C-alpha cells in the first residue's frame, strides 16, 4: 500500500513561525526529507524520525528519493523553508509524480513565505499589487528575467527579488536596479532583509539610488517599492492599500505587446486630469513642465504668475535647479536665475534666493559653478555634482518649505524635458520636485519647432503610471495659424492619454529677458537697414547675462547683432564685450579666432568699445589668476585698451547697487547728479592706472551705504567698462550713448524710448494666456485665493 507525501513549508525557520498544520504533518510522518540547513531549523520535531538530507542544488535527487520512499509505504514530509509552493519543492514533486505516473497522495502544507517574513520586518510594503521575481538564472534564462523585471517596473508593481546575488552571480542585481531606476525615482524606497525572522536577522531600508552600494547576498530578500510606497515617521516601509490614499492617482495603465504601452481608448484619468473633485485636496502649488528645452516654460510660468496675482493670489515662483547663462541678484545679495527674477516681478514681489535654491553656471563642457542659496559653493564636474545631489535636494526642500509658509500658492518651473529617462535617477528639478510640492503638472509643448503631437505622446509614454497621473493638462505653445486645424490632433491626444489640452497659445512677440542659450541662436548676426544704429555684442563661448543688452535691442532705430566671426565687425557703430563666466579662456578664444586683431583695427579706425563685467576685465592690460580660479595660468594679457589690471579672487561679489557718475563719465554725457543702478556678479578686483579715470561712484551695495569706485574710461572717451550689469536699463546711460552714436553717423534724431516696459509686457502676456487657456479649469486644481500664507 502506498504511503503519503507531505510537502511542508516550515516558514522562516523559528519554531514560533511554523504553522500547526506543518507541525501536524511532520508529526504524522515517519521520514523527514530536506536540505540539511532546513532540517537544522526544526530539531525539536525530528525525534524518532528517519531523516533523508541532501546538499544544496540536489533538489531533484531529494524529491525523487522522497517520492520513492512514499511509494514504498512511508509517510514522508518533504520540507522547505518559507512556503513550499513559492520557489519550494511543491511544483517539482507534482511534476515528477506526473512524469513517473505514480499513484501517490501528495498534500501541500503552506508556510510563512520568505517574502511575507521580510515584508513583516520592513513594515507593510506589500499592501498593493506586487510581483516576486528570482534573479537566479540557473533555471530561467537571464533575458527572460530581464523582460519580467522591465514589465514589473513599468507596471509599477512592488517587486520582491529572491536570490539577488551570489558569489558566482554578481551583476544581475545591478542590472535590475538600473531597470527600475529608468522607470522610478531614485528616491523609491527599497528594503533589504537578510535571514528574516531568524536569530541573525539584519535589515536595511535604503532607496533605488543606494541599492548598488548595499550589502546583499543569497540569504537576502530585496523589496522595491512602487510609486506610492513611502517611509513613515517610525522608519517603516509602507505601500498604501489604494493609490488614492496617499497620492490621489489611478492604477497603472495596462501594458501592451512588445511595442510597450497600449493605451485604452478611454484611459482612466487622474483626479488632476479631471480638474479635481469634491473629495480631492486642492493644491497649493502648480508645476509647469515641458516636452523639451526652450518650449516656453519660463514665459508661461511668468504669465501664470501675473495672471494668478491678478486673480487675488499671494503667489511666488520656484525653480529647484536652474542652469542659466543669465542670472540676477536679489536685494539681499544672492544670485538666482534671471527667469525667477522675472517671475518674481510678475508676482509683484522682490526676488529671493529661495525661489531658485540651486543655480548652475556652466564654465566648461563638463562642469559648472554651483551656487546654493545664492552663494557660489565652487566648481564641480558632472560626477561631483551627482554625488552632491542629496545635499542639493535638501536645500531645495528647505527653500520650498520656507516659500510655502509665506505664500498661498507657489508656481514651480521644470527644466528641459520631464521625460529625460537618462537623467531621472538624479532628478531634483522636474517630477521629483512636483512630487515634493504635491503639485499638479501642466505640460508645455512647442508646436513652432514641429512634431508637437509626437513630443507630447512620447513624453507621456516615457513616464511611469504614477508620473502620468500627475499630469493635469497639456498646453500647446507658439502656434501660428488657425487653431481649429489642430482639432484632430488634440482629440487624438485626449483620447489616447485621458489628459485634457487646456489651450493653444498663439505665437506672440514679447520683449522679456531670456536666460536660455538656445535663445541666442535666434539673435541676428547681420544688419538689415542702413538707417539703423548697428551695435555688435561679441558672442563669447562663455557669455553671461546677455539680457544686459535687451534695452538696446528694444530701442527704436537700433539693430543689436550677436557676432562670432571677425568679418561681422565691419560697419558697427558700437562694439560691446559682454560678461563671461570664464574670462581667461574667452580671451584666448578672441585671439585664436582672429577677433582680437579685428577689434584692435576697429579701435584704431575710431570705433567705440564698451566692456561689461568680464568684458571690462578683458579690455584691461592684464588678468591675473593666482589661485587658479579660472585656469592653470597665473596671468593672461588683456586687450590693452584700458589702463586697468584685474586680479581674480575666489570670493564672488553679488550685489544690487546704486551710485552716480564721476567726472570721467561726463565724456559719455552723464551728469554728476545722474543716479544709476544695476547689479554686480563678478569674481575679481580691478585696479585703475593713471591713464584711465573711474566711471561711477557706488553709494549703495545690497542695502548698505558704501563709497566704492566702479569702472574706467579711456582718456579719449571711446573705450569704457563697468562691472555693473543692467547699466543700459538706465536712461541716463542709454540715451546719451545712442544720441551720440546717431550724431556720429549723421542719422536723424530718434526719440529714445524703449519700445515697451517690463510691467506692460507682463500684463500683455497675462492677457494673452487668459484669452487662450482654460484658466477656470486650472483654478479647479488650486486652493482658492485668500487661504493660508
pLDDT tens track for 181-217: 888 888 899 999 998 887 788 889 999 988 888 889 8
Residue 307 has a pLDDT of 96
Q: Which of 6-20, 48-62, 139-153, 217-231 has the lowest mean pLDDT?
A: 48-62
Rounded distance between C-alpha atoms, residue 255 and residue 272, angstroms: 22
Question: pLDDT averaged over the chain?
Answer: 87
User: Between 243 and 564, where is the model more confident?
Assistant: 564
Q: What percent of the chain shows pLDDT beyond 90?
A: 52
CA dist 727 and 742 (Å) reads 20
Residue 659 has a pLDDT of 92
**For the ranges 219-228, 268-277, 562-571, 655-664, which has the lowest average pLDDT?**
268-277
Residue 712 has pLDDT above 90, yes or no: yes
Q: Report the alpha-carbon distance of residue 720 to residue 745 in Å, rounded.
A: 20
- The confidence score (pLDDT) of residue 431 equals 94
Residues 453-496: tens digit of each pLDDT: 999 999 999 999 889 999 999 999 999 988 888 999 999 999 88
> Under a CB-based contact definition with an 8 Å cutoff, are residues 333 and 704 in contact?
no
Q: What is the pTM of this model?
A: 0.61
Active-site residue flag, 613: yes
- Selected catalytic residue, list 613, 636, 682, 772: 613
pLDDT at site 167: 75
Exposure class string for 592-602: b at 16+ Cβ within 10 A, else e: eeebbebbeeb
**Catalytic residue of the set 17, 352, 725, 772:** 725
Strand 685-688 to 622-624 pairing: unpaired
Q: How far apart are CA 12 and CA 200, in angstroms?
A: 12
Q: What is the mean pLDDT of residues 634-649?
A: 91
Instruction: Write a three-state SS string for 114-176.
Output: HHHHHHHHHEECCCCCEEEEECCCCCCCHHHHHHHHHHHHHCCCEEEEECCCECCECCHHHHH
| pLDDT value of residue 36 | 84
pLDDT at 356: 96
Confirm whether 725 is a catalytic residue: yes
Question: What is the tens place of the pLDDT at every residue in 761-770?
Answer: 999 999 999 9
Amino acid at each position: 500500500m502506498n504511503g503519503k507525501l507531505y510537502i511542508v513549508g516550515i516558514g522562516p525557520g523559528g519554531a514560533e513561525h511554523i504553522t500547526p498544520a506543518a507541525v501536524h504533518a511532520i508529526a504524522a510522518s515517519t521520514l523527514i526529507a530536506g536540505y540539511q540547513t532546513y532540517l537544522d531549523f526544526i530539531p525539536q520535531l525530528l525525534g524518532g524520525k528517519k531523516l533523508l538530507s541532501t546538499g544544496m542544488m540536489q533538489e531533484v535527487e531529494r524529491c525523487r528519493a522522497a517520492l520513492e520512499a512514499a511509494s514504498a509505504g512511508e509517510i514522508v514530509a518533504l520540507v522547505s523553508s518559507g512556503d513550499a509552493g513559492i520557489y519550494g519543492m511543491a511544483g517539482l514533486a507534482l511534476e515528477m509524480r506526473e512524469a513517473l505516473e505514480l499513484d501517490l497522495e501528495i498534500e501541500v502544507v503552506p508556510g510563512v513565505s520568505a517574502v511575507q517574513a521580510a515584508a513583516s520586518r520592513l513594515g507593510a510594503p506589500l499592501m498593493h499589487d506586487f510581483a516576486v521575481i528570482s534573479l537566479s538564472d540557473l533555471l530561467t534564462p537571464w533575458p527572460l528575467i530581464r523582460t519580467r523585471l522591465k514589465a514589473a517596473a513599468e507596471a509599477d508593481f512592488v517587486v520582491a527579488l529572491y536570490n539577488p546575488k551570489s558569489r558566482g552571480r554578481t551583476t544581475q542585481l545591478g542590472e535590475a536596479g538600473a531597470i527600475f531606476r529608468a522607470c522610478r525615482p531614485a528616491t523609491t524606497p527599497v528594503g533589504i532583509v537578510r535571514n528574516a525572522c531568524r536569530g541573525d536577522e539584519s535589515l536595511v531600508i535604503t532607496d533605488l539610488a543606494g541599492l548598488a552600494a548595499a550589502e546583499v547576498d543569497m540569504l537576502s530578500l530585496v523589496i522595491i517599492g512602487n510609486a506610492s510606497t513611502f517611509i513613515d515617521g517610525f522608519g517603516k516601509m509602507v505601500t498604501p492599500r489604494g493609490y488614492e490614499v496617499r497620492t490621489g492617482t489611478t492604477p497603472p495603465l495596462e501594458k501592451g505587446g512588445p511595442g510597450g504601452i497600449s493605451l485604452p481608448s478611454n484611459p482612466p484619468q487622474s483626479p488632476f486630469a479631471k480638474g479635481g473633485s469634491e473629495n480631492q485636496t486642492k493644491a497649493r502649488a502648480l508645476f509647469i513642465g515641458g516636452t523639451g528645452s526652450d518650449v516656453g516654460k519660463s514665459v508661461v510660468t511668468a504669465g501664470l504668475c501675473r495672471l494668478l496675482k491678478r486673480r487675488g493670489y499671494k503667489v511666488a515662483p520656484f525653480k529647484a535647479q536652474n542652469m542659466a547663462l543669465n542670472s540676477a541678484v536679489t536685494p539681499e545679495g544672492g544670485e538666482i536665475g534671471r527667469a525667477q527674477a522675472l517671475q518674481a516681478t510678475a508676482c509683484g514681489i522682490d526676488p529671493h534666493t529661495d525661489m531658485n535654491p540651486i543655480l548652475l553656471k556652466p564654465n566648461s563642457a563638463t562642469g559648472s559653478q554651483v551656487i546654493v542659496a545664492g552663494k557660489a559653493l565652487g566648481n564641480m564636474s558632472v560626477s561631483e555634482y551627482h554625488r552632491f545631489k542629496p545635499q542639493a535636494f535638501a536645500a531645495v526642500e528647505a527653500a520650498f518649505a520656507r516659500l510655502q509658509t509665506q505664500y498661498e500658492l507657489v508656481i514651480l518651473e521644470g527644466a528641459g524635458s520631464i521625460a529625460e529617462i537618462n537623467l531621472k535617477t538624479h532628478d531634483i528639478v522636474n517630477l521629483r520636485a512636483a512630487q515634493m510640492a504635491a503639485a499638479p503638472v501642466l505640460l508645455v509643448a512647442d508646436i513652432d519647432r514641429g512634431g508637437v503631437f509626437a513630443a507630447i505622446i512620447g513624453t507621456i509614454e516615457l513616464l511611469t503610471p504614477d508620473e502620468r497621473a500627475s499630469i493635469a493638462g497639456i498646453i500647446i505653445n507658439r502656434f501660428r495659424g488657425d487653431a481649429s486645424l489642430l482639432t484632430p490632433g488634440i482629440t487624438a491626444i485626449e483620447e489616447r492619454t485621458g489628459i485634457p489640452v487646456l489651450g493653444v497659445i498663439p505665437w506672440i512677440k514679447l520683449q522679456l529677458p531670456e536666460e536660455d542659450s538656445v535663445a541666442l541662436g535666434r539673435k541676428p548676426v547681420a544688419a538689415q537697414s542702413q538707417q539703423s544704429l548697428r551695435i555688435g555684442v561679441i558672442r563669447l563661448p562663455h557669455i553671461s547675462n546677455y539680457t544686459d543688452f535687451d534695452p538696446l535691442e528694444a530701442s527704436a532705430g537700433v539693430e543689436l547683432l550677436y557676432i562670432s566671426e571677425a568679418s561681422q565687425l565691419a560697419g558697427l557703430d558700437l562694439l560691446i564685450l559682454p560678461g563671461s563666466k570664464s574670462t581667461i579662456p574667452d580671451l584666448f578664444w578672441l585671439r585664436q579666432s582672429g577677433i582680437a586683431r579685428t577689434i584692435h583695427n576697429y579701435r584704431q579706425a575710431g570705433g567705440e568699445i564698451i566692456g561689461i563685467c568680464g568684458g571690462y576685465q578683458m579690455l584691461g592690460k592684464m588678468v591675473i589668476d593666482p589661485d587658479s580660479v579660472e585656469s592653470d595660468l597665473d596671468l593672461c594679457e588683456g586687450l590693452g585698451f584700458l589702463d586697468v589690471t584685474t586680479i581674480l579672487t575666489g570670493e564672488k561679489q553679488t550685489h544690487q547697487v546704486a551710485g552716480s557718475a564721476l567726472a570721467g563719465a561726463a565724456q559719455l554725457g552723464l551728469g554728476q547728479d545722474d543716479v544709476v543702478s544695476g547689479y554686480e556678479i563678478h569674481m575679481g578686483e580691478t585696479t585703475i592706472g593713471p591713464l584711465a579715470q573711474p566711471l561711477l561712484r557706488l553709494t549703495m551695495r545690497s542695502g548698505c551705504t558704501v563709497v566704492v569706485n566702479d569702472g574706467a574710461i579711456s582718456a579719449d572717451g571711446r573705450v569704457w567698462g563697468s562691472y555693473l550689469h543692467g547699466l543700459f536699463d538706465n536712461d541716463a546711460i542709454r540715451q546719451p550713448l545712442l544720441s551720440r552714436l546717431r550724431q556720429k553717423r549723421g542719422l536723424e534724431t530718434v526719440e529714445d524710448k524703449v519700445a515697451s516696459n517690463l510691467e506692460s509686457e507682463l500684463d500683455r502676456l497675462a492677457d494673452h494666456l487668459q484669452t487662450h487657456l482654460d484658466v477656470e479649469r486650472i483654478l479647479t486644481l488650486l486652493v482658492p485665493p485668500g487661504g493660508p500664507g
